[in-house]
Amino acid sequence: MSTTQSERLRELLEPLVTSQGLDLEEIEVDSVGRKRVLRVVVDSDTGADLDQIADVSRALSATLDETDAMGEGEYTLEVGTPGAERLLTEHRHYVRATDRLVRFQLAEGGELVARILKVDDDGVDTEVPGVKGRKATARRLAFDDIVRARVQVEFSRKDNKKEEEA
């Protein structure tokens, strides 16, 4: 997809997504055989439920049908959320990932897997899990020191809040 088309689609669709209380995270157009697929990724601080996604999908579809933003020919519109292992690229993504385990690629080299505890304008406060019975340690990461960050899926995490209440 050309930058011009991407910018045009974003300008057209972002106000509609925002009016539904969501953020427009990503727009992607792929060719699948003779058809094209327009994928729109939306999110919010509280997540997006199926009703919100359906509402935004209808609004986007109606607007796309009224304009020539997708050009001539058939296309399929897919609206969804970022998914469980989302890439963190914006400040709001880090805020939304608070209390989640994240794999960081660091500018100094190497990787770090840590839980985000707090986010401010300069970086993140994390907790690095202890290994082999050792206690977890705190570590501060400045945004300038982070090359890439991706949320990790946790299947066996213990809920600390429930443990503290017990």
- Residue-range domains of the chain with CATH: 3-80 (3.30.300.70), 91-153 (2.30.30.100)
pLDDT for residue 31: 83
Say what angle helices 3-19 and 50-66 make with each other, to 10 degrees.
Answer: 130
The overall average pLDDT reported for the chain is 87
Angle 148-153-156 from CA coordinates, rounded to 5°? 140
Is the pLDDT at 158 greater than 60? The verdict is no
The 10s digit of each residue's pLDDT in 81-124 is 888 788 899 999 999 999 999 999 999 989 999 999 999 999 99
3-state secondary structure (DSSP) of residue 86: coil
- The tally of CA atoms less than 13 A away on the side-chain side of residue 103 is 10
13-31: average pLDDT: 91
Nearest to 42 by CA among 19, 25, 59, 55: 25
Q: What is the pLDDT of residue 165?
A: 45
